[in-house]
C-alpha cells in the first residue's frame, strides 16, 4: 500500500474533516453546557439522518425563544407579554409575593393552584463559594417592590413575603438574608413548610426530613 | 393563606407552564437522542440566558447542515459536492477501496494520510439482533462498484478492498460477509491490522489485543 506521499494540507482539504456545515454544527452544539464533542457529533449525525423539517423545527424553536420570550419587568418570571400574565391578572392577591430561585419553580408552584398571590424570581441563590452575591440576583428589584408601591402591579405594595427557596444550604442562607431585609421593611415573612413528602414512606425519609417533620408538627383540627 | 379557589384552567392559562416558545424548544430538544426532558430544560434555559446571536448561530447551523450536506453518490461519505472531493480527486489510487461503517471513520483514517485510495461507507454494520441486514446498508452499491466500472470515479473498477470495520463482534461479522462477496468477484481483500495500540502500555492492554498482537506478529526487517 502506498504510504504518506502527500502533505497533510492536501488531505485536509479533501477529507480529513467533516464538511464545513457539519463541523460548524458540531462545534456550535458542543458549546452548549453538558454537551461534549462526542455528544455533539452524535446529535449532528442524528440531525443529518432525520428529515429536514425536524432540523427546521428545532432551528425555528431556537430563534423564536430568543425573540418572543423575556423576563417580566416586575417579577422576572419568563413571559411573552410584559408584565407577565400573573402580574397582569387583577384577580390575584397582590399583597402576597412568593419568592423563588428560578422561573421553573413558579411553574411547579402554579400547578398546585394554592398560591393566589404574585411571584418574584431571584434568578439564582446567594452562593459565596460560586461568587454569587445579592448584587448578582434580582434582590434589589425585590426590595424595591416593598419600598416603592409603583414598582408593583396596580401600585399595590405587598405586605407578605413567602420564601420559596430550595431547602438547601444555599437556599436557606439566601432565605435568612432576605428575611432580615424584608423584616426591616415591616413585611410579614413566612417560608414554605418543611416536613414529610406526601406519598412518601416514613422509613425511606432522611433524618433531616424527619427532624423537620417533628420540629414543625402540626395540630390536628 | 387563601387556598384553591380557582379552577385549574385559570391557573394553567396564566403561569403553570412555560411560555409557548420555551415549551416548544424544550419539547423539540427532548426529541433528540440521549436528551431527556431535564437536559432539554437545562439547554433551553441556557439558550434563554445566552445572547440572541448564539441561538441564531445554532439555528443557522441546523438549517445549513440539512441544505448543504449530502452523501456522496459513489461512496456515501458526507460531502457538500457530489461526488465527494475524495472520489473526484484524480490523483488518488482508484484501484483501492477502504470500506468503513461511518463517515466519521473516513475522517479518522484520512487524518493518518496513509490510505491513498477511495472509500466506501456502509452506513452501519450487519446486526441481526438489531434487525440490520445487508439490505439496510450500502452493500448493494459497494458490490455494484466491483461489478460495474461505470459506478466508479473515472470508470476505474477497483481491484483491492481494505476492510476497515470496527474490531467488534458485529464489525467482524460484517467483514466476513463482505470478504465472501468480494472474493467471489476476484477482489483482493485485506483488513486493517490488529495489534498493540501505538503509545499504549503492554500491561494495560486486554487479553484479546495481546492475542491479536501475538497471532499477527510482524517480521523485523
The answer on pLDDT for A206 being more than 60 is: yes
Judge if the upstream peptide bond of residue B83 is cis by omega within 30 degrees of 0. yes
Coil, strand or helix at A204: helix
Residue with more model confidence, B11 or A23: A23
Q: Which residues pair with A93 in a beta bridge?
A: A117
Residues of chain B with pLDDT under 70: 1-16, 220-221
Locate the chain A residue with the closest alpha carbon to B64: A21
Level-2 CATH architecture, domain B8-68: Orthogonal Bundle (1.10)
pLDDT at A213: 80
Determine the distance in angstroms separating the CA of B205 from the nearest CA of chain A, rounded to an integer. 24
pLDDT at A207 over 70: yes
What are the extents of the domains in chain A?
A: 12-68, 93-193
**Predicted pLDDT at A129:** 92
Check: CATH 3.30.390.10 for B85-191? no
Of 1.10.10.10, 1.10.8.420, 3.40.50.1820, 3.40.50.620, the CATH number of A12-68 is: 1.10.8.420
Q: Is the pLDDT of residue A13 over 80?
A: no
Q: Which residue has the cell 411560555?
A: B19
Q: What is the pLDDT of residues A54-106, one digit of tens each?
A: 899 999 999 988 889 999 999 999 999 999 999 999 999 999 999 999 998 89
* CA-angle at B1, arms to A217 and B2, nearest 5°: 130
Question: What's the pLDDT at B205?
Answer: 80
In the predicted model, is pLDDT for residue A8 greater than 70?
Answer: no
Distance from CA of B174 to the nearest CA of A (A): 22
Interface of B with A in 87-106 (CB under 8 A): 89, 93, 96, 102-104, 106
pTM: 0.69
B1/A34 CB distance under 8 A: no
DSSP letter at B196 equals P
Task: Give the CATH number of domain A93-193.
Answer: 3.40.1360.10
Residue with cell 454544527: A25
Q: Are B93 and B70 in contact (CB under 8 A)?
A: no
Is some CB atom of chain B closer than 8 A to the CB atom of A9?
A: no
User: Helix, strand or coil for residue B9?
Assistant: helix
Q: Cβ contacts (< 8 Å) between A110 and chain B: which residues? A: 11, 14-16
Nearest CA in chain A to B1: A115
- pLDDT for A221 equals 67
Q: Which residue of B has its CA nearest to A104?
A: B18
CA–CA separation, B192 and B163 (whole Å):
6
pLDDT at B13: 47
pLDDT band at A2 (very low <50, low <70, confident <90, very high): very low
Q: What percent of chain A has pLDDT over 90?
A: 62
- Residue A199 pLDDT class (50, 70, 90 cuts): confident
Is A30's Cβ below 8 Å from some Cβ in B? no
Residue A37 at interface with chain B, using a CB cutoff of 8 Å: no
* Alpha carbon distances (Å) from B126 to A29, A89, B184: 30, 60, 19
**Lowest mean pLDDT segment, chosen from A143-147, A198-202, B27-31, B118-122:** A198-202
pLDDT of the residue at B158? 96
Helix or strand (DSSP H, E) at A99: strand A93-100
Amino acid at each position: 500500500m502506498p504510504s504518506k506521499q502527500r502533505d497533510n494540507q492536501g488531505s485536509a482539504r479533501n477529507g480529513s474533516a467533516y464538511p464545513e456545515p457539519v463541523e460548524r454544527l458540531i462545534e456550535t452544539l458542543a458549546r452548549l453546557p453538558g454537551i461534549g464533542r462526542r455528544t455533539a457529533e452524535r446529535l449532528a449525525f442524528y440531525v443529518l439522518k432525520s428529515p429536514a423539517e425536524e432540523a427546521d423545527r428545532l432551528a425555528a424553536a431556537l430563534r423564536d425563544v430568543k425573540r418572543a420570550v423575556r423576563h417580566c419587568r416586575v417579577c422576572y418570571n419568563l413571559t411573552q407579554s410584559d408584565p407577565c400574565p400573573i402580574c397582569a391578572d387583577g384577580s390575584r392577591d397582590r399583597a402576597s409575593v412568593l419568592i423563588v430561585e428560578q422561573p421553573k419553580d413558579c411553574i411547579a408552584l402554579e400547578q398546585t393552584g394554592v398560591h393566589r398571590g404574585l411571584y418574584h424570581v431571584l434568578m439564582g441563590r446567594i452562593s459565596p463559594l460560586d461568587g454569587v452575591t445579592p448584587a448578582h440576583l434580582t434582590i434589589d428589584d425585590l426590595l424595591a417592590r416593598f419600598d416603592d408601591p409603583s414598582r408593583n402591579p396596580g401600585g399595590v405594595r405587598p405586605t407578605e413575603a413567602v420564601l420559596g427557596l430550595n431547602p438547601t444550604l444555599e437556599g436557606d442562607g439566601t432565605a435568612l438574608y432576605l428575611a432580615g431585609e424584608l423584616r426591616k421593611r415591616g413585611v410579614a415573612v413566612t417560608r414554605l413548610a418543611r416536613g414529610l413528602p406526601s406519598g412518601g414512606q416514613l422509613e425511606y425519609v432522611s433524618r433531616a426530613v424527619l427532624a423537620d417533620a417533628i420540629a414543625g408538627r402540626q395540630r390536628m383540627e
